[in-house]
Structure 1
Amino acid sequence: MADHEKLDPIDFRANAEIGFFGGFDSGFSLQVESLSAYSAEFEEVRSRRLPDDEERIVSRLSFTGLDAMRAVQRSYMSALPFDLTFGDSSEVVAEKLGAGPFRKGKSSTLPEYSAERFEHSHAVGDMVVIAKYDADLRLMAVYLMQADRAMLKAKRRKASFPKHKIAPGSIDKVEALRDKIPTPRWRESMARGDGLFNEADIAAAETALNVFVDTVKAATSQRDAQAIWAAVKDIVLAINEINDRSGMIETLERDELGVLIDAVVRASGFILPDDEDVTAQWREW
């Protein structure tokens, strides 16, 4: 950053507030957060320069190539992180990063100027690398972010799987929670005229939740903590898909599902901190 734009501290802060250096078309930008906003999402900062909450913390670096949004846009001219090159295919990017994407999605576009774009998120060490692609899945931008608190917790959790006291005798405790599946209440609300719900998506959610309970029971019998955590991911992703169609998971439904999933995991003997949301890593509802 020092080589890219030599700024005195006052100019640096002014530019940080708008997030661009060297003009809007330099191919490089950064995003900053207030200390309080940064701390709410990420773990504690490694160093401080100011003694108060006026400090700004860099939360994202952006390196962009040619983009049809602005005719004068030019590519970032220096070397990209991880030896990436604009125009790399998604397969080459994954190979250079040493990790496949944990999330794929379409990036926001404006039809009047931009073709379809795609974004793949990769976990690399304690960072998230977001690769933005054109319609042919050729690299056109790279974003670097610190992994948030939920991702770091998940990483540490994987290392702790052998420590969980999964006991086959807990199967009955897991099964007892099947009665807490909230879909009967959803059907009652639908019968009273609540337009939030429809039978097809309630049935899909009910099936997914029963599969979740069955999977955790089987994993409990095998004392397999990793399989229990995989079951959490599967049920959260299944509810994501259902909610994408119907939008029926609102605050009450989210609380019902969160309480149930948490209780099933704990019933198996899986150890969780009291304040942890087990669905946070994947949940979109």
Structure 2
Amino acid sequence: MNHSDILGRSIADPVVKSYLADHENLDPVDFHANAEIGFFGGFDSGFGLQVESLDAYDAEFEDIRSRHLPDDEEGIVSRLSFTGPDAIRPVQRAYRSALPFGLTFGDSSDVVAEKLGTRPFREDKSGTLPDYSAARFDHSHAVGELVVIAKYDADLRLMAVYLAPADRNMRNAKCRKASLPRQKIVPGNADKVEALRGRIPTPRWREAMAQGDDLFNEADIAKAEKTLNVFIDAVKAATIERDAPAIRAAVKGAVLAINEINSRSGMIETLERDELGALIDAVVRASGFSLRDDEDITAEWREW
């Protein structure tokens, strides 16, 4: 059964209808209970299929593989889930058919990476409530044009698998990485990069803190300020060397550092996110690095 072939197809596509019919046999009792909100399957069957409206799917993803309904009725398959025993709630049955990519519940994280042919690009603590599930870790893998999320217990044994298409940000990141050798970095632009140091937003953050905004604290502001100065230094040096991969690496380093700061303090809200995004974008472009107008170079790693 080719699970990944279902993603991006209309819910009314004959291929999807056949796929759903096969899975309904696993647990027919509540299979259609949440169909009105775009979910097919049930906790007890270990299977779930999620559908998005045409507009919502198109906004997040690019590859709509089939259309079978009028625009206002159309639903596109956006995610599949396959869960093992107790992965969602106690006394839950495991998915009864073969898992994607030859995976097996109980596989170690190393075995999962080997079967998928790639290490995870992100490793997180599980967002599942501890009282309801033994899931403790989520590892995200990029496999071709798919994202495969593996959920693990405390011993890093596989409990659940989720499949989704790569979103626009991931596709853009893949294209951007492939385009690095073609980037035309301009060594003479190092002064333009340096001039943007004055746009580091931490002085405004300190002013807000002085006026009583308890969103901020001096220790994390200082760490963010150091991170941004190191980022500008790195891009400036990479500009002189015409080193596009080093510019991308500098962005990644800055974003990951700010992720860590924000995970502690939560101080990056909408305004701060916009300030940081505008600064990073401006510094990268100042080097001569080419980005599309709608492209967010931080999205590949950003958690704020």
Question: What are the superposed Cα offsets for residues 209-250 of structure 1, whole Å, 9 maximum, x if unpaired?
Answer: 000001111111221111111111111111111111112112
Per mean C-alpha deviation after superposition, the further-off stretch among 69-78 and 183-192 is 69-78
Determine helix, strand or coil for the equivalent of 1:53: coil
* 1:20 paired to 2:22: no
Q: 2:99 aligned to 75, 80, 86, which one?
A: 80
1:256 to 267, 270, 275: 275
Residue 209 of structure 2 aligns to which amino acid in structure 1?
M
2:114 to 95, 104, 108: 95
Structure 1 residues 185-194 or 123-132, which shifts more?
Answer: 185-194
Alignment partners' CA distance in 2, 1:182 and 1:235: 14
In the alignment, what sits opposite 2:193? 174
- Match of 1:280? 299
- Cα distance between partner residues in 1 of 2:139 and 2:210: 41
Query: Residue 288 of structure 2 corresponds to which residue in structure 1?
Result: 269
1:124 aligns with 2:151: no
* In structure 2, distance between residues paired with 1:165 and 1:155: 18
1:210 aligns with 2:219: no
What percent identity do the matched residue pairs reach?
77
For residue 105 of structure 1, the aligned residue among 111, 124, 136 is 124
When structure 1 is superposed on structure 2, of 215-224 and 86-95 the one drifting more is: 215-224
State the shift of 1:114 in Å: 3.1
Check the 8 A contact 2:88/2:133 in 1, yes or no: yes
- For residue 165 of structure 1, give the secondary structure of its aligned residue in structure 2: coil
Q: Relative to structure 1, is the Cα distance of residues 72 and 243 closer, same or farther in structure 2, using a 3 angstrom cutoff?
A: closer
2:90–2:133: 8 Å Cα contact kept in structure 1?
A: no
Question: Is the Cα–Cα contact under 8 Å of residues 89 and 137 in structure 1 kept in the other structure?
Answer: yes
Unaligned runs of 5+ in 2: 1-18
1:187 correspondence with 2:206 = yes
Find the counterpart in structure 2 of residue 147 from structure 1.
166
| Distance in 2, Cα, partners of 1:97 & 1:29 | 21
What is the CA–CA distance in structure 2 between the aligned matches of 1:213 and 1:111, rounded to whole Å? Answer: 41
Indicate conservation of the 8 Å contact 1:16/1:30, yes or no.
no
Of residues 221, 231, 255, the one that matches 2:250 is 231
Change (3 A) 1:87 1:265: same
Q: Is contact 1:166-1:223 (8 Å) kept? A: yes
Instruction: Specify whether residues 248 and 71 from structure 1 end up closer, same or farther in structure 2 by C-alpha distance, changes over 3 A only.
Output: closer
Deviation at 1:168, TM superposition (A): 1.2
Deviations 1:98-126 (CA, angstroms, capped at 9, x unpaired) = 11111111222334343352110000000
CA contact (8 A) 2:51 2:77 kept: yes
The one-letter code of the counterpart of 1:171 is A
1:47-101 residue CA offsets vs partner (Å, 9 max, x unmatched)? 1011322111111011111116545422112111111111100001011111111
Give the Cα separation in 2 of the matches to 1:12 and 1:195: 47
Counterpart selection for 1:200 from 176, 197, 219? 219
Determine the structure 1 residue equivalent to 2:59: 40
SS of equivalent residue, structure 1 residue 145? strand
**CA distance in structure 2 between the aligned counterparts of 1:135 and 1:147, rounded to whole angstroms:** 27
Deviation at 1:273, TM superposition (A): 0.7
1:219 is aligned to 2:238: yes
1:15–1:116 distance in 2 versus 1, CA, 3 Å: closer
2:238, 2:246 within 8 Å by CA — same for their partners in 1? yes
- Secondary structure of the residue aligned to 1:20 is strand
Cα distance in 2 for residues equivalent to 1:49 and 1:12: 22
